[in-house]
Each structure stands twice: as structure tokens, then as C-alpha cells.
Amino acid sequence: MIFNHTIIDNLPTSSGSLRPKSSSLIFVAVFIILLSTFASGLIKILIRQYLSPLRRLRCPPIPSMLWGNLMDMHDQENNYLIDRWEEEYGPVFAFRGFLSGSRLMTTDIRAVAYILGNAYDYPKPDFVRDGLASMAAGHDGLLTTEGEQHTRQRKILQPAFSASSLRAVTPVFWEKAAEIRDIWSALAEQQQESHRYDAKDEKHWSKGAKLDVLAWLGRATLDVIGLAGFGYSFDALSDNSNALADAFAAVFATASTFRFMIILATWFPILRKFRREESSEKHMRKTIRDISLQLIDERRAAAQIDAQEALAKKSEGDIHSYSPEPGQARDLLGLLMRSNFAVASHLRMSTSEILCQISTFIAAGHETSASALTWTLYALAKSPEVQSKLRASFRPLQSIPIGDPQLDDELTRLPYLDWVVREVLRLHSPVTNTMRVCKKAHDAIPVGAPGGYLDRDGQRRTSIEIKKGDIISVPIQAINRSRVIWGPDAREFRPERWAEASQSRCAVPGLWSNILTFLNGNTVNGNRSCIGYKFAILE
């Protein structure tokens, strides 16, 4: 083989030589393989879509045979598209995706409870998991794992969100709230100084300072998750040119844009291998990995001692053997590191899993909170009367110093604050939609709407027939804003609604407060609800 290779290397490369022909043949062979892969994949898609029982559902008009309704749906949280479709087609209907394939859309509460409750039978589609993994979560993080691996990880991580663990990190919230308040005050004052008006010229009256609230809150929540979750200071608030904060902002902004290549890669996985990674994405991934490895090295010795002490006190194999003891770190990293030294394999996380958990919680734990806080300030700015009531409810607590546990306790007892938080998270869910795929060969999803629903042929049905590979969209925000559930003023910001009893909203299987913002609380086969929802609410 070496001899032949040497001969070929010494052949002439002029026109008519063997080397150009050989290269051309390789190119043609690769092209044929890719073309045949594409063609066979396309045929499989068309056959599966043709045989899908979802074709029997009513659906809105199809603007494009290639892209279906996808372009219309890209801005669904702002244009009330799902609401309009629900009014016309009922709580169960289909919309069209790539190559006009039918996808299930349902706002029926019983159907949604069934789908989300059987999370391992209806997991995230592979293309969604790959997208989350590429954005920072990795393939071994809590957001992207399924089945036994996901169950094990969730059990290990759960103690980080206990009441005592959350109370321990509350000072971080206060610290960052005060820091961002001071920064905003200083920026507002600077802008006022630079726009001093001439009393004789009213057109120069300043109308207030302008701040990019989402960008600043993204920095604040990045600092919070770093300190509260991992004992690490990103210094995103104090460093105006923080590269990691800028990279996160760029990645999440890119993720919200409509890209045809992403849709093609959804159905032709081979295209994902040729996906061009943005420089901001590369930088973010490298920075998080470097920080994670540094944190692991720093905590490894302490975690090993903690695990040995826990084993000496408690029986081997008990999941609680690795819960934090008094004096041990209660943050996420502490739990992750102790799990790495667990004797029983079902209690242990590998280094790869730990790295993915760190990146998952850094990415998901700060972006969604920043979005919710931004919408909170927006809602209050648009409702001065609500803002005044909320301020008035705080005034009796001004004599209690920040840092006093009594203040934290008193805040949780303020009904109007509770109503405002609930109403914001109902009206402005940070995650507006979630996708699932059926993994069963066949299934019949029960429907709770009185009298069922009408299919395309006008037949009334009480369940939704579905096959393996069929995709489902659960419109979280549309259900949270449903007039059927929340009344005719469902789209209005009205915290007082939470003082009123409502039978219709009690049917919503939400994890918290009968809203789907943190997904469902009725776990049957797999729990995919937000593990950090108490952390988010407190923040």
C-alpha cells in the first residue's frame, strides 16, 4: 500500500493524468451519496406525512406548500395567531410544517395534561434537543436528556431548590437588585445632564432616560446564577464590555430569527453536521467550558471529603446520602460534585454530565428570568395604577433593613405582590411554546372539551389519533391568555383577577398557579416541569 501510494504521488498531474480523474470520481461519489440520502429522506418524510392521522384534522389555509404555516407562526406570541385559529377551528386542529406536513396544535386542557404528563412517551423532538444542545446545554444536560438518565439527574439536582437552599441564596438577589438600581440611577442622571433643557424652549424638555432594560437584566441574572448556583462571579453588571454577557445576548437574538436552513436541518439531520457556528456561539461555549472546568477543579477535593463523611454517617445507596449536611455547600455545584463521588452508579454524574448541567443552568437560568423581569417592568410601566398600588403595599416594610430574614418573610405574605408576579408570568410567559413528538406506535389522546371536536370531515371525535413521529405543539402563552379560561379580559394585565375564584382555570394542569409557564404538575411518566421554578419566582 505504501508502494502504490508512492507511485500515485509521483504521477504527473497534467491534463489526462490519473489524479484529477480520481478526485472527480470521489466528488461524484460523494454527490451521489448525498443526493440519494436526501432523496430517500424526502421519500420517507412524504410517506410518513401522508399516512399521519393528523391529516384528518381541520387546518388553516396553507400559504406555502414548502413551508406550510411556519412563517406565519414565527411571530405567534405577538399576533394572536393561535387565538384566531382556535376561535375558527376549535381546541384541536392541525397546522402545516415543512412540505405541508400536518402537526398537531391543541389548547384542550385534558389533551395538554395527557401529553405533558406522559413526558417520556412525548419527549422533545431530536431537532429541538439538538438546538438546545448547540445553544449551550450540551447533550447530557437536564434540558436535553430523556428517560432514566433524566430521572437520575433530576433526583440529584432537586435538593438545590429546597426551601433552605433558596433562603441561603436570597442575599444574592438583594445584592444584585441594589447594584442594578444604582447603575440605572447613575445612567438616568447622566442622560438628564446631557439633555438639560432650555426653559425658554419647551421642545427640549427631557422625557426621561432610555435604557436597554433586557440587556441590563440579562447581565444581572447572569451574575445571580453564577453566584447562587456555582459560587462564581461573572461580574457582568460591573463590566460594561463583559464578553460572555454579549455572547449570550447574540446567541439568543440569533435563535429568535427565522432561518430556512434550520427547518431543512430539522428533517435532514445530515445537514446539522454542516451547520456554521457563529463566533459568539464558539466564544460562549469555550468560556463556559473553561469556567466549568475551573469550578470543578476548585471544588473536587472538598466534594470528595463531603461524600466520604456522608457515607460514614448513612447507608450506602440512599439518594439522600449526598444531600448537603449542615456546613456543606448547598448550591448546584456542590450537589453535582458530591454526586461525582457517589458509590452507587445510579447516584453518580459523570464529568461530562456535570459540565452540561453547569452550562444548562447558566444559559437557561438567566435568560428566562431576564425576560420575565423585563416584561414585569413593561407591564408596570404601562399600568401606573398597578405600580402605585404595589409601591403602597411595600411602604409598611421600609423600616425593616435589607438582609433581615423578616423582610423576606414579610414580602412573601404581600398579596398584591403575589398577584402581580402571577399575572406577569401568566400574560408574558418567557417560553411561549413547547414541542413534543409521539414515541408510541399509536396512541389516542383524550379530549376534555364538551362534545369533543370536529375533524376535517365534520365528524365529532373525543380523542386525537396519533402515530409515532407525529409532532405536537403546545401553545403555552395562548393557553395562558385564553378567553375561554381567563375571561373576556384575558389579554389585559389585571393582577386583581387573582383575588377572584375561578372554576375554569382550576382545570389547567400547571405546576404553579394554574398557568403553564413552568409546564405541568401532573406527572405520570416523566417530569419535564421546570425544576428551578421556586428560584425563578423568588428572583
CA–CA distance, 378 with 12 (Å, rounded to integer): 71
Counting Cβ atoms within 10 Å, is residue 282 exposed (0-12), middle (13-18) or buried (19+)?
exposed
What burial class does residue 164 get, using C-beta atoms within 10 Å of its C-beta: 0-12 exposed, 13-18 middle, 19+ buried?
exposed
For the beta carbon of residue 503, count every other beta carbon within 10 angstroms: 6
Q: Which of 484, 505, 539, 347 is nearest to 426 (CA)?
A: 505
Q: What is the CA radius of gyration of the chain?
A: 27
Q: How far apart are CA 69 and CA 29, in angstroms?
A: 36
527 contacts 118 by C-beta, under 8 angstroms: no
User: By the 8 A CB rule, do 358 and 323 touch?
Assistant: no
**Other Cβ atoms closer than 10 A to 494:** 17
Give the Cα-Cα-Cα angle 229, 347, 287 (nearest 5 degrees). Answer: 35
Estimate to the nearest angstrom the gap between the alpha carbon of 100 and the chain centroid: 27
Contacts of 75 (CB under 8 A, 6+ apart): 81
Closest C-alpha among 255, 273, 272 to residue 264: 272
- Beta-strand pair 510-512/463-467: unpaired
Return the residue matching grid coordinates 376534555: 448
DSSP code, position 64: B
Of 346, 344, 309, nearest to 324 by C-alpha is 309
**3-state secondary structure (DSSP) of residue 513:** coil
Length of the chain in residues, anyone?
Answer: 539
Q: What is the largest CA-CA distance in the chain?
A: 93
* 3-state DSSP assignment of residue 447: coil
> Which residue matches cell numbers 425544576?
531
Binding positions for heme are 530
DSSP 409: H
Q: How many whole angstroms separate alpha carbon 128 and alpha carbon 471?
A: 11
Binding-site entries = 530
Residue 500: phi, psi to the nearest 5? -100, 140
* DSSP 8-state secondary structure symbol assigned to residue 398: T
Where do we find the cell 448541567? 357
Beta strands in 101-227 (DSSP E): 102-106
Closest by alpha carbon to 112, among 464, 498, 536, 469?
464
